[in-house]
């Protein structure tokens, strides 16, 4: 009877539980704070650990490195909030330690560890079991580019804020430059704006500053520029314009620094060659108008391939991707890992055979992911293959889903170009529609055959004699 019960348990999958095995004893765990750093490393006796607390000044960080060397530590796992981890991480990386930066949000979900001492011990224990994976961090050269590019992005946001402030001042005086011309920061708009700040109040003289390509006549523009000129609004307008010019000069300085550093990172494949000409006329005009050709050449020099040839992917988009991840994407195993890190992979949570309601994970979208979503909206009305794909998804789902799906497709094309050198070929909207129609017909034919029917194409009625 006893042997029969044991056999039934064996068939049911009953197994004896085994404890986790330590596969990496030479590891340490670090919990970094604003004023203290808690470090758990292997003890002097085999199978033991020791915890020490250090300060956050540079001499204290050097003491951390020295103590880790005394304990023969080879790999370090650390968690932190904010930017307190960066000085210690860079110091450990310079000293050739394998350093893993762990996501504190995932580790904090385990209950019962609410002190710094227990946090560093838990990090050391999990790392010794081989259960921790570090977050992505590119090489030092790309990290420097990323810091400059992120600050430049902040300046671009400030530039947009200055434009909103100037437009508010004009609206309060009922001087509607943004109604008279297409863009306030365009050539004509800025001429009129500077003339107003310079003291010009005659709407007809302001209307004469219009570009010859403007659709509206001088009379229509003069009517939009007729307003009441209050001193407080004019003063705020002048200050906002002055701040706008300063931010513009700072953006140009950052642009020059990025170009200088990118040229120093030119790859062997691109040496002595320039980026090919832009195939599409509208894209070439846009690059020339924005003055982005030098940056496009610098991006080509880093990658050896013109990724901006992808529809919707401009210089700003590729600058964001390369300054965040580097020119080769070699740290990502495949395109799925890259898309998931961008935050463009749909979550498919299933429990009990049913999809769960999607909830926000609490992690913010990446900068490159946000830029790709903005780029996806630009192909909505184009006659490219990506434009047809966008409209196809929008018809089936919604426009929001189409933006997400198209951004994901762009990320896949970028990965294939940077990692494998695959050039982008636009087969056009007609080719995509034909392929989509063919897939639909195959599906309908298969469904009809399963139900015992046969599809017959509809013929046009014959004309009577």
pLDDT of residue 116: 67
391 has which bridge partners?
A: none
Residues 47-62, mean pLDDT to the nearest whole number: 93
pLDDT of residue 173: 94
Is the confidence at residue 203, as pLDDT, over 60? Answer: yes
Instruction: Choose between 390 and 353: higher pLDDT.
Output: 390
Is the confidence at residue 140, as pLDDT, over 50? Answer: yes
- Among the ranges given (9-23, 176-190, 340-354, 360-374), the one the predictor scored with the smallest mean pLDDT: 9-23
Confidence of residue 6 (pLDDT cuts 50, 70, 90): very low
Residues 230-256, mean pLDDT to the nearest whole number: 96
Is the confidence at residue 235, as pLDDT, over 70? Answer: yes
Are the beta carbons of 65 and 94 closer than 8 angstroms? no
- For 113, the 3-state DSSP assignment is coil
Instruction: Choose between 10 and 404: higher pLDDT.
Output: 404
| Domain coordinates in residue numbering, the chain | 27-128, 142-264, 268-347+366-428
| N residues, the chain | 465
pLDDT of residue 292: 92
Q: What does the block give as tokens for 232? A: 């407080």
pLDDT of residue 364: 54
Is the confidence at residue 201, as pLDDT, over 80? Answer: yes
pLDDT of residue 167: 93
Are the beta carbons of 247 and 162 closer than 8 angstroms? yes
Tell me how far CA of residue 39 lies from CA of 11, 106, 260, in angstroms.
Answer: 46, 20, 40
pLDDT of residue 217: 85
Residues 377-388, mean pLDDT to the nearest whole number: 94
Tell me how far CA of residue 47 lies from CA of 72, 77, 121, 125, 256, in angstroms.
Answer: 14, 18, 13, 11, 55
Q: How many Å apart are CA 45 and CA 29, to the nearest integer?
A: 18
Q: What percent of the chain has pLDDT over 70?
A: 88
- The pTM of this model reads 0.83
52 has which bridge partners?
A: 39
Q: How many Å apart are CA 277 and CA 11, to the nearest integer?
A: 67
Per CATH, which fold does 142-264 belong to?
A: Helix Hairpins (1.10.287)
Mean pLDDT, the chain, integer:
87
15 has which bridge partners?
A: none
Confidence of residue 353 (pLDDT cuts 50, 70, 90): low
Was domain 27-128 assigned CATH 1.10.3720.10? no
Q: What does the block give as tokens for 154? A: 């902040």
Q: 142 CB contacts (<8 Å, ≥6 apart)?
A: 322, 323, 324, 325, 326
Is the confidence at residue 434, as pLDDT, over 50? Answer: yes
pLDDT of residue 3: 52
pLDDT of residue 13: 45
Is the confidence at residue 18, as pLDDT, over 70? Answer: no
Instruction: Choose between 45 and 375: higher pLDDT.
Output: 375
Among 189, 185, 191, residue whose Cα is nearest residue 164:
185
pLDDT of residue 422: 92
Confidence of residue 12 (pLDDT cuts 50, 70, 90): very low
pLDDT of residue 9: 44
pLDDT of residue 11: 47
pLDDT of residue 445: 92
Are the beta carbons of 186 and 209 closer than 8 angstroms? no
């Amino acid at each position: 009877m006893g042997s029969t019960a044991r056999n039934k348990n064996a068939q049911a999958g009953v197994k004896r539980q085994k404890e986790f095995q330590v596969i990496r004893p030479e590891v340490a765990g670090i919990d970094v704070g604003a004023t203290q750093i808690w470090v758990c490393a292997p003890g002097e006796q085999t199978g033991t650990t020791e915890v020490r607390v250090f300060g956050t000044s540079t001499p204290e960080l050097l003491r951390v490195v020295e103590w880790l060397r005394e304990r023969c530590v080879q790999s370090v796992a650390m968690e932190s909030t904010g930017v307190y981890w960066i000085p210690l991480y860079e110091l450990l990386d310079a000293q050739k330690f394998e350093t893993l930066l762990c996501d504190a949000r995932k580790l904090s979900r385990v209950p019962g560890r609410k002190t710094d001492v227990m946090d560093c011990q838990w990090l050391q224990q999990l790392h010794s079991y081989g259960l921790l994976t570090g977050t992505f961090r590119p090489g030092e050269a790309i990290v420097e580019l990323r810091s400059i590019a992120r600050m430049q992005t902040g300046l671009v946001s400030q530039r947009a804020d200055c434009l909103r402030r100037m437009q508010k001042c004009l609206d309060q005086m009922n001087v509607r430059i943004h109604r008279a011309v297409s863009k306030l920061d365009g050539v004509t708009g800025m001429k009129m704006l500077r003339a107003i700040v310079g003291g010009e109040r005659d709407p007809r003289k302001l209307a004469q500053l219009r570009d010859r390509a403007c659709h509206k006549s001088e009379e229509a523009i003069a009517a939009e520029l007729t307003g009441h000129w209050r001193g407080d609004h004019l003063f705020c307008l002048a200050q906002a314009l002055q701040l706008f010019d300063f931010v513009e000069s700072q953006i140009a300085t950052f642009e020059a620094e990025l170009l200088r550093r990118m040229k120093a990172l030119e790859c062997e494949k691109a040496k002595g060659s320039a980026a090919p000409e832009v195939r599409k006329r509208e894209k070439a005009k846009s690059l020339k108008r924005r003055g982005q050709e030098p940056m496009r050449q610098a991006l080509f020099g880093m990658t050896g391939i013109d990724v901006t040839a992808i529809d919707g992917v401009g210089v700003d988009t590729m600058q964001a991707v390369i300054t965040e991840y580097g020119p080769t994407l070699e740290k990502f195993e495949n395109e799925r890992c890259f898309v998931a890190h961008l935050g463009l992979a749909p979550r498919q949570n299933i429990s009990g055979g049913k999809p769960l309601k999607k909830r926000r994970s609490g992690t913010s979208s990446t900068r490159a992911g946000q830029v790709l979503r903005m780029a996806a909206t630009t192909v909505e009305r184009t006659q490219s293959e990506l434009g047809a794909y966008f409209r196809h998804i929008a018809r089936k789902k919604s426009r929001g889903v189409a933006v997400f799906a198209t951004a994901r497709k762009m990320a896949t094309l970028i990965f294939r170009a940077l990692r494998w050198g695959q050039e982008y070929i636009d087969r056009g909207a007609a080719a995509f529609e034909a392929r989509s129609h063919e897939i639909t017909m195959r599906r309908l034919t298969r469904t009809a055959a399963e139900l015992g029917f046969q599809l017959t194409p509809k013929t046009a009625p014959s004309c009577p004699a």
